[in-house]
Amino acid sequence: RKLTYNSLPALIVVLTDTGVLVTVIARHFLKPVPALVQATLRIAREETDVATPFQERRDEIGDMATAIETLREAVLERGRLRQIRDMAQQLEHMAHHDALTGLPNRVLLMKTLENRLEQLSASGQPFNVMLLDLDRFKAVNDTLGHAAGDALLVAVASRISSVLGENDMVSRLGGDEFAIIQSTNGDCESDAAMLAARVVHAVSRSFGLEGSDISIDTSIGIACAPGHGTSATQLLQHADLGLYRAKSMGCGYFVFYEAGMDMAAQHKHALEIDMKSALENHEFELHYQPVVNLQSGRIVAYEGLARCRHSKL
């Protein structure tokens, strides 16, 4: 009993010292653990802006911190790569789509035409190309401003898209010009006529812009592949000739390309060149044609006429 009483204080001191020592050691080794857990959770949330602590230690804690930092750098690099990928996708979309309407642009139109022509060569799958031009669009821009004109273009793009077939594509070429590639399985001209009629009807319905009802129309030129061309450039040129003929007829017409339209266009182009040259060379002459009162025989007015002395015509 005496030995017990004498040993008890010593035992308490030993246990206390041991507890303190264990606590100090535990704090030394376990104190970094919550910080490392938080660092891991931040990485899980993709918060990679804070470096992992305790990497300088030369024990298991340091090894764990180094491993977590390696993970953080990997996640950070993956985020950079994802940003680069997203930026590349955005740039590619911008390169192939119109910024205002979101429709494919001329670049994507030409690529799609080339692909359709390859399919045509391989499987004989015909298609149609349509060029559209809005009638009276300039008047909207001049009277209501460019903001209203842009809103009108967006609305027109939406209406055209709503009447297309599942495999058709509409693109904006610039200004108030649009193009359509129409897939067809049967009679190309019949399918084109039905789609063109739907487009004309859709565009001709009035638009509500800035509290006003605006009415416009569209003219359409149509070329059918392969009958009207076997290259993208040729099909667009022939559709453009049909569009020129449609606009000369008035508003809201669609016209198919026909052989001989290019001759008329070439003649018009040559005549325009001749007129420009005649203006530069002062070959135009002014003539006055009298208007006579048949009862009195007196000249009451003159009609001013411009005449060109052409070398051949």
Location of structure tokens 């129409």: 182
According to DSSP, the residues that pair with 128 across neighbouring strands are 182, 224
Q: Is the peptide bond before 34 cis (omega within 30 degrees of 0)?
A: no
User: How far out from the chain centre does Cα 185 lie?
Assistant: 28
According to DSSP, the residues that pair with 208 across neighbouring strands are 213
CB 304 within 8 A of CB 312: no
Catalytic residue among 98, 135, 176, 240: 176
Give CA–CA dist 219/241, Å, rounded.
Answer: 12
Token duo for residue 248: 């000369």
User: Which residues touch 183 (CB under 8 Å, ≥6 apart)?
Assistant: 125, 127, 165, 167, 168
Give CA–CA dist 101/155, Å, rounded.
Answer: 9
Please state the φ and ψ torsions of residue 80, each to the nearest 5 degrees. -65, -45
Active site residue 176: yes
| Helix H or strand E encompassing 171 | strand 169-174
Give CA–CA dist 154/8, Å, rounded.
Answer: 93
| Helix H or strand E encompassing 300 | strand 299-308
Give rounded-to-5 percent helix, strand, coil for the chain.
55, 20, 25
- Which bin fits 124, alpha (ψ -120 to 50), beta or left (φ > 0)? left
Active-site residues, by number, are 176
